[in-house]
Amino acid sequence: MGNMQISINESQERKTKPSTDGIAFGRNFTDHMFIADYTEGIGWHDHRIVPYEPITLDPSAVIFHYGQTVFEGLKAYRAKDGAIRLFRPEENFRRMNESCDRLCMPQIDEEDALKALKTLIKVERDWVPEAEGTSLYIRPYMIATEPHLGVAPSLTYKFIIILSPVGSYYKEGIAPVKILVENEYVRAVAGGTGAAKTAGNYAASLKAQAVAEKMGYSQVLWLDGVEKKYVEEVGSMNVFFKIDGEVITPALNGSILGGITRKSIIEMLQAWGTPVTERRISMEEIKTAQQEGRLDEAFGTGTAAVISPIGEFSWKGEAFTINGGQAGELSTKLYEELTGLQSGVKEDPFGWVTEIREEAAVRN
């Protein structure tokens, strides 16, 4: 690696681009995708951009049986001046390698992966939507492809990047959600795979989510898998609480996924001089703070929504309102700063944004 060559096979057909107005998340894909193959003893090879189409795998491929797979999620934004912006993409590929390590999957060359992503986006540049709040969602992932029913790491893999235009997460302003504190099911346990972005964690979360939805809640608040006392995450987002003016988020303990939005918010708050602490926080502490009027705000963080304020939580049959069910001042400010910086409306004092420039286009 290091001198990766990407072959480009341009699609003869071009899809009609959907209107991003009211577009469903993750159902529309661009004309091309990036693929690289891995073979034990050879390494990564055959880096290519090809038409977006179904892939063929042997029915005994390891991915289908033992879930050896990892994924990432990030977005490309169109700035007012037409430039395409990526938010901390190197963090995604670093995290992908950490996930791969946990799942006994091969490492990718992070620089090559970023180069592959930029090349693919240049090919698909017309797919990056322009309307405010819209973006091109990027899904890099790796799957174990060896035909083998033995429980062992696969000897072959595919690394793929697909792209999907997405609309604005909040159509009518940043809206708070109602969440249900989950007391039966757990998402992940210490020593398990909670800190890795791997499919099994999401399969394991569907049941609780379905139950919560049926009860009228939009997400579940996950507690630790041992004592079911300490807060871990909300849905597939990290979670923050503002109590007595201090911002608190659960410390990364091995079962929590370390979000890039989470990390950025911590760094942003530190830059602003706002007290922010990473530590263990129990449901009991949150309930007490709410009852004593000290719980100012709560919100989830992740690439999709950026900030998702929590307006109400229900725990053991009791419901608690946060900030009168409204988006708080800090949640709103963080949302505006982060989305402003991503889309280029605001300055990027942190150097988090990578612009994709047309003149550097690589065409083979």
Binding site residues, ligand PLP, CB under 6 A = 73, 197, 233, 236-238, 257, 259-262, 301-303
Residue closer to ligand PLP by CB (options 301, 323) is 301
CB of 302 to ligand PLP, least distance (A): 4
Q: Please tell me the distance from the alpha carbon of residue 336 to that of residue 331, in angstroms, as a whole number.
A: 9
Amino acid in the structure at residue 357: R
Residue closer to ligand PLP by CB (options 73, 133) is 73
Residue closer to ligand PLP by CB (options 238, 339) is 238
Residue closer to ligand PLP by CB (options 73, 192) is 73
CB of 261 to ligand PLP, least distance (A): 3
CB of 349 to ligand PLP, least distance (A): 20
Residue closer to ligand PLP by CB (options 61, 166) is 166
Residue closer to ligand PLP by CB (options 156, 303) is 303
- CA proximity to 8, closest of 107, 94, 121: 121
| Three-state SS letters, the chain | CCCCCCEECCCCCCCCCCCCCCCCCCCCCCCEEEEEEEECCCEEEEEEEEECCCCCCCCCEHHHHHCCEEECCEEEEECCCCCEEEECHHHHHHHHHHHHHHCCCCCCCHHHHHHHHHHHHHHCHHHCCCCCCCEEEEEEEEEECCECCCCCCCCEEEEEEEEEEECCCCCCCCCCEEEEECCCCCCCCCCCCCCCCCHHHHHHHHHHHHHHHHCCCCEEEEECCCCCCEEEEECCEEEEEEECCEEEECCCCCCCCCCHHHHHHHHHHHHHCCCEEECCCEHHHHHHHHHCCCEEEEEEEECCCEEEEEEEEEECCEEEECHHHCCCHHHHHHHHHHHHHHHCCCCCCCCCEEEECHHHCCCC
Q: Please tell me the distance from the alpha carbon of residue 271 to that of residue 351, in angstroms, as a whole number.
A: 13
Residue closer to ligand PLP by CB (options 158, 262) is 262
Q: Residue of minimal CB distance from ligand PLP?
A: 259
The encoded tokens of residue 229 equal 């006392």
CB of 205 to ligand PLP, least distance (A): 8
| Cα dihedral 109/236/321/340 (nearest 10) | 40
CB of 43 to ligand PLP, least distance (A): 27
Residue closer to ligand PLP by CB (options 49, 142) is 142
CB of 323 to ligand PLP, least distance (A): 22
Q: 361 phi and psi, to 5 degrees?
A: -55, 135
Residue closer to ligand PLP by CB (options 105, 260) is 260
CB of 223 to ligand PLP, least distance (A): 14
CB of 270 to ligand PLP, least distance (A): 17
CB of 330 to ligand PLP, least distance (A): 17
The encoded tokens of residue 75 equal 């977005």
Give me the residues paired with residue 177 across strands. Answer: 310
Residue closer to ligand PLP by CB (options 259, 311) is 259
CB of 55 to ligand PLP, least distance (A): 23
